[in-house]
Amino acid sequence: MIELKNIEKYYANKGVKSYILRHVTTTIKQGEFVSIMGPSGAGKSTLLNILGMLEEPTYGEYNFMGEDVTAMNERKRIELYRNHIGFVFQAYHLIDEMTVAENIEAPLLYKKIPGSERKSRIADILDRFNMVAKKDLFPNQLSGGQQQLVGIARALVAQPSIILADEPTGNLQSVQAEQIMDLFKKLNEEENITILQVTHSERNAQYGNRILTIEDGVIKEDVKVSS
C-alpha cells in the first residue's frame, strides 16, 4: 500500500545540509499496524508527515496505492486525504468552535457526502463510541480522553483505509491511553484498517504488529511484533 524508496529530508542552511531523514526505504502493506519509535528529534514525526503528505521529501520516491505522491498536484493530494487517510493528533486538534457532532461531520462535508448519509454515519459512529449524549458539547467541555475519542471518530467517519496517528496518547493518562490503544487494535483487526502510529511508549508499540525504530533519520530496526 505504501512504498518508500530512498526518502531523504534535509534543510539547507548556509550551504550546510542538516538531515532529518536519510535513505528511508520501506514498504507498508494493507492491514498492518506499524509503530514508529525512536528518541526525540530522530525524525519520526517528519516521516509521519511525509507519509501523510503534509510535508514533501527533499528526495526519494513515495508511492501510495501504486501512485507516485511526489509527482501529484495539490488537487490529487486533497483527493487522497478525503478518501483514504485519517489523521489523529497528539493534541487532538478538534475545532474549538464546533460541537462534537460538527467536528465529526466536517470531513464528510469536504467529501460532499449528502446530508442524510452524513447524519446516519455520525449517529452510527457516536453510537459506537458511546458519545451520543455528548454530541452537542464543545471540545473544551470534554476530558482529554474524550476529545481524543472524538478525534478518532472524526478520522474514522470518512472511512479511510489508513490512519496516521502522531502520539495519539501522548497527552492522556494511562487508563484513557489504554482505551484508545484497544480501539486502534480493534479497528485494525476487525476492519482491516492500516494504522501507523508514532509513539514513545514501548507498551503502546506492543499493540501493533510491527515496529520501525528511527535514530538520527535512519531506520535502525524493523521488527515484527509477536502477539
Partner 1 sequence: MFKLNLKIVLRNIWRHKLTTAIKLVGLIIGLSTVVVLIAYVMFELSFDRYAQNAMQIYRLQSIEAKSQKENIQLPSGLAEMLLREIPEIEKTTNLFTYNEQIKVGNTLFKRELLTTDPVFFEMFSIPLIAGDLKSVLKQPNTIVVSATFAKTAFPKGNALGQSILLENDKKPFQVVGIMKDVPKASHFNADLVIKSDLKKELNWRAYSSVPQYIQIKKGTSVEFVQQKLKSLYKKYQFPEGVSIKLMPLTKIHLYSHTTRELAANGDIKYVYIFSIVAFFILLIAIVNFINLTVAASLKRGKEIGIKKVMGASVGQLRIQFLSESYLYFLLATVLVLILTYDLIPVIGSKIGIAISLADMVNVKTIWISIGVIIISGFVAGLYPAIILSKLMPVKTLKGYTGHTSGRFGFKKILMVFQFSISAFLIVCTLIIYAQLKFIKTKNLGFDKNQLMVSSYRRFGNNFTAFKAELLQNKEIKSVSLSSFDPGKTFGGSSSWTNDNDTTNYTADFIDADFDFIKTLDIKTLKGRVFSEKYGSDVFDYYKAAENLSGEEARKLTDQKPILLNEAAVKAFNLKRPIDTILSYGGLQGKVIGVVSNFNGMSLHTEVKPVAIQVSLNPTSGYLYIKTNTEDLVATKAKIEEIWKKHFPEILPDLQFMDEHLQQLYMAELRLGSIFISFAAIAIFLCCIGLFGMVYFDLEQRTKEIAVRKILGASVKDLLTLLNSGFMKAVLLANLIIWPIAYYLTKEWLNSFYYRIEISYVPFVAALMLCIILTLLTVSLQAIRTVKKSPVDALKYE
216: left (phi over 0), alpha (psi -120 to 50) or beta: left
- Using the minimum distance from each CB to partner 1, give the nearer residue, 9 or 210: 9
Strand partners, 215: 218
Cα distances (angstroms) measured from residue 160 to each of 2, 33, 163, 179, 195: 14, 14, 7, 21, 10
Q: For residue 136, give every residue at least 6 positions away whose Cβ sits within 8 Å of its Cβ, in sequence order, or none.
A: 99, 100, 101
- Using the minimum distance from each CB to partner 1, give the nearer residue, 57 or 210: 57
Minimum gap (Å) between residue 150 Cβ and partner 1? 12
**Are the beta carbons of 43 and 9 closer than 8 angstroms?**
yes
> How does DSSP assign 142-187, residue by residue?
S-HHHHHHHHHHHHHHT--SEEEEESTTTTS-HHHHHHHHHHHHHH
- CA atoms of 132 and 16, how far apart (whole Å): 54
Minimum gap (Å) between residue 223 Cβ and partner 1? 29
- Using the minimum distance from each CB to partner 1, give the nearer residue, 161 or 206: 161
Minimum gap (Å) between residue 125 Cβ and partner 1? 15
Tell me the helices (H) and strands (E) count for the chain, helix number first: 7, 10
- CA atoms of 206 and 128, how far apart (whole Å): 24
- Using the minimum distance from each CB to partner 1, give the nearer residue, 1 or 98: 98
Minimum gap (Å) between residue 225 Cβ and partner 1? 28
- Using the minimum distance from each CB to partner 1, give the nearer residue, 49 or 204: 49
Minimum gap (Å) between residue 95 Cβ and partner 1? 5
Minimum gap (Å) between residue 6 Cβ and partner 1? 22
- Using the minimum distance from each CB to partner 1, give the nearer residue, 150 or 211: 150
Q: Which residues bind partner 1 (CB under 8 A)?
A: 49, 52, 54-55, 74-75, 78-79, 81-82, 87, 89, 91, 93-98, 102, 105-107, 109-111, 154, 158
**Are the beta carbons of 199 and 193 closer than 8 angstroms?**
no
